[in-house]
């Protein structure tokens, strides 16, 4: 009981994800600023923003549903923290593992987006509802390419367990080259899942203020911001386990340092991509995902099916 609570609340759970999430947000904002020829924030800015938000008064709109309004940030954080327990981080073995956990992790990482939708919808604000609908619309666009590309990698490894998948590619390092299309698709769809440029349509501040979070402030908005930072770490860890499972057989300290490097590597790619592109319209985002990313994801699936047949022979 005590070790499980420690894993859930301290490491690699809530506290670890919060601190690592703030650090990753700083790296993202600093790199984004430098690429735009700006100075960027100091290292403590993400934590200072969180402290400022939780110290403010909690205000709930008169027409909002108070219970749903308060619960949605907690749902988002809980799902994100739970997902990290099934992902192998610096070894080939996750804290909790079973055959099929890859589906469970993808499902858990869908809950934060649904929480954003419900939080915005029950805010009853026009801007919040528009942002909430956009969040859910994006979910239907990027989730299929992301799911298919990850399952294609699992298909080649002949397992639905993330731990066994990481162990397979760690033992056959050259096979990761055949998953490069899936890795590229996952990086692009991760921008949509985290609602970063060019897929920041749900919270387009020049159009709908802050989207689903328009009516949120104080500690509730701070918890939503924290859940997004945590989700960035968990999603990056998922991609690292699926597509970059190198060095997992090293000593724990070396494996942990390599894990940190992988996370910052993925965060840096996201920063560069959101620097290069401008925001798309929601219809352009939908068209891009279904016209290009989905066919490429199924192409990755076909490649892995052919390769798996060749390996069996």
| pLDDT, tens only, 15-72 | 999 999 999 999 999 999 999 899 989 999 999 999 999 998 888 888 888 898 899 9
DSSP assigned state of 251:
-
Q: Which two tokens stand for residue 261?
A: 């490097």
Classify each residue of 84-95 as buried b or exposed e, where b means 16 or more C-beta atoms within 10 Å of its C-beta. Answer: bbbbbbbbbebb
Statement: residue 186 has pLDDT above 90: yes
Place 309 in a pLDDT band, splitting at 50, 70 and 90.
confident
Place 262 in a pLDDT band, splitting at 50, 70 and 90.
very high
Place 246 in a pLDDT band, splitting at 50, 70 and 90.
confident
The stretch 179-196 carries a mean pLDDT of: 93
Cβ atoms < 10 Å from Cβ of 208: 21
Peptide bond into 104 cis (omega under 30): no
CA distance 34 to 26: 12
CA distance 32 to 55: 28
144 to 78, 179, 237, 298: CA distances (angstroms)? 23, 17, 19, 10
Q: What is the pTM of this model?
A: 0.93
User: How many domains does the chain divide into?
Assistant: 1
- The residue behind tokens 């700083």 is 26
307: Cα separation from own chain's centroid: 29
CA distance 81 to 4: 13
Q: Which domain holds residue 205?
A: 2-312
Q: What is the model's pLDDT at position 313?
A: 58
pLDDT digits over 71-112, tens only?
Answer: 999 999 999 999 999 999 888 888 888 998 999 999 999 999
Statement: residue 274 has pLDDT above 70: yes
Q: Quick one: CA torsion of 295, 304, 267, 97, rounded to 10 degrees?
A: 120
- The residue behind tokens 């925001």 is 279
Q: What is the model's pLDDT at position 2?
A: 65
Q: What is the model's pLDDT at position 90?
A: 82
Residue of 84, 86, 85, 118 lying closest to 99 (CA atoms): 86
Average predicted confidence (pLDDT) for the chain:
89
Place 312 in a pLDDT band, splitting at 50, 70 and 90.
low
Instruction: Please count the CA atoms within 13 angstroms of the CA of 300 that sit on its side-chain side.
Output: 30
pLDDT: is 200 or 309 the higher one?
200
Place 308 in a pLDDT band, splitting at 50, 70 and 90.
confident
């Amino acid at each position: 009981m005590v070790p499980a609570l420690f894993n859930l609340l301290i490491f690699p759970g809530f506290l670890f994800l919060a601190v690592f999430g703030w650090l990753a947000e700083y790296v993202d904002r600093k790199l984004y600023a430098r690429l735009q020829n700006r100075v960027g924030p100091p290292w403590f800015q993400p934590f200072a923003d969180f402290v400022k938000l939780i110290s403010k008064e909690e205000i709930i709109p008169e027409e909002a549903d108070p219970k749903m309004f308060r619960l949605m940030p907690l749902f988002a954080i809980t799902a994100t923290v739970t997902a990290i327990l099934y992902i192998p981080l610096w070894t080939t073995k996750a804290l909790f593992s079973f055959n099929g956990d890859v589906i469970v992790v993808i499902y858990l990482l869908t809950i934060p987006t649904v929480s954003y939708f419900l939080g915005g919808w029950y805010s009853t604000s026009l801007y919040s509802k528009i942002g909430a609908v956009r969040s859910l619309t994006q979910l239907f666009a990027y989730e299929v390419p992301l799911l298919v590309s990850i399952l294609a990698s699992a298909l080649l490894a002949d397992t639905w367990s993330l731990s066994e998948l990481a162990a397979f590619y760690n033992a056959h390092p050259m096979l990761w080259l055949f998953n490069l299309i899936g890795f590229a698709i996952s990086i692009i769809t991760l921008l949509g899942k985290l609602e970063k440029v060019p897929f920041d349509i749900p919270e387009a501040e020049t159009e709908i203020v802050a989207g689903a979070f328009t009516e949120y402030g104080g500690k509730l908005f701070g918890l939503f911001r924290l859940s997004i930072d945590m989700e960035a770490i968990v999603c990056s860890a998922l991609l690292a386990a699926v597509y970059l499972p190198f060095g997992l057989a090293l000593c724990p300290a070396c494996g942990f340092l390599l894990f940190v490097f992988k996370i910052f590597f993925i965060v840096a790619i996201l920063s560069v991509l959101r620097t290069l592109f401008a925001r798309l319209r929601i219809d352009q985002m939908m068209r891009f995902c279904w016209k290009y990313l989905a066919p490429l994801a199924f192409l990755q699936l076909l490649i892995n099916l052919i390769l798996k047949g060749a390996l069996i022979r």
